[in-house]
Amino acid sequence: MSERFQNKVALITGGSTGIGLATAALFIREGAKVYITGRNGKSLDKAATELGPKGVAIQSDVAEIADLERVRDRIKEEDGRLDIVVANAGIAENNTFGETSEAEFDKTFDINVKGLFFTTQTMLPLLSDGGAVVLTASILSGKGFPNMSLYSASKAAVRSFARSWSNDLRERKIRVSAVSPGPVQTPIMENGLKMNAEQIEQYRAMVAQVAPLERFGEPSEIAEAIAFLASDAARYITGVELSVDGGMAQV
């Protein structure tokens, strides 16, 4: 077992389920202390139990700057620094263009764009020089998909942040990259996209037909890519978007 993250301190937003939780578990297995955040107290408690003593759960909403400041202050008090920020919290909801409300627009952008922007900005004073930021975007950042225009546009903003911030943070040699997952079965499919079991199976069958690797990804496979970009092995990589999608972005 390698120990890529020995003595590192990481923050993973949206870390109680899905890709965030798989990433937290991998970081901890490789030596890190990991703070996870999320809005749902129950799933945070469950995740904290699963992660053990090196996983610290803090209930907080990425769309609330005061919450983010509280998270930063807690980490400062306990550890005095952060080496890695994984700004991963996000929602995916369908929207019908022509009938989309301002409230729907604001919800997606408040969490996926504003939330991610202020997560990273709020943590900057704690982030070590030479540290790493990994943003969770999506293959839809570069694709059109029916009824997903808000989500796609929000993830395009995330991809753009990686490019811009890699320049903004050059003096401190903080690297910023985005990971763009393809389809992965996580709670987001049921909770946000309101897909039932049958619809998920239809989606899985469609992906099996069109995607070069013919299957959904696993949360652990996205976690591996995030870990690579956050690790020293990626020390000459910044500003990129890495698709981890079985080739779906090429379809």
Strand order in the sheet with 175-181: 55-59, 33-38, 9-13, 82-87, 127-136, 175-181, 241-244
The residues that bridge with 115 in the sheet, in sequence order, are: none
Kindly state the smallest distance separating residue 6's Cβ from ligand NAD, in Å. 26
Q: What are phi and psi of 177, to 5 degrees?
A: -135, 160
Site for ligand NAD in 127-146 (CB under 6 A): 136, 138
Kindly state the smallest distance separating residue 142's Cβ from ligand NAD, in Å. 12
Work out the number of other CB atoms within 10 angstroms of the CB of residue 107. Answer: 16
- Among 38, 55, 131, 246, indicate the residue that binds ligand NAD (CB under 6 A): 38
What six digits make up the tokens of 51? 């992660």
Among residues 149 and 186, whose Cβ is nearest to ligand NAD?
186
SS3 for 234?
A: helix
How many chain residues are in contact with ligand NAD, going by CB under 6 A? 30
Q: Is 88 in the site for ligand NAD (CB under 6 A)?
A: yes
DSSP H stretches of helix in the chain = 18-29, 41-51, 65-78, 102-109, 116-123, 149-168, 187-191, 197-210, 219-230
Q: Which stretch binds ligand NAD (CB under 6 A): 11-19, 100-108, 126-134, 228-236?
A: 11-19
Contact in structure between 36 and 86 (CB atoms under 8 Å): no
Annotated active-site residue 151? The verdict is: yes
- Among 75, 133, 150, 184, indicate the residue that binds ligand NAD (CB under 6 A): 184
Q: Which of 35, 151, 203, 236 is catalytic?
A: 151
- Among 5, 8, 10, 14, indicate the residue that binds ligand NAD (CB under 6 A): 14
Q: Is 246 in the site for ligand NAD (CB under 6 A)?
A: no
SS3 for 93?
A: coil
- Among 26, 57, 91, 148, indicate the residue that binds ligand NAD (CB under 6 A): 91
Footprint of ligand NAD (CB under 6 A): 13-14, 16-20, 37-40, 61-63, 88-92, 111, 115, 136, 138, 181, 183-184, 186-188, 191
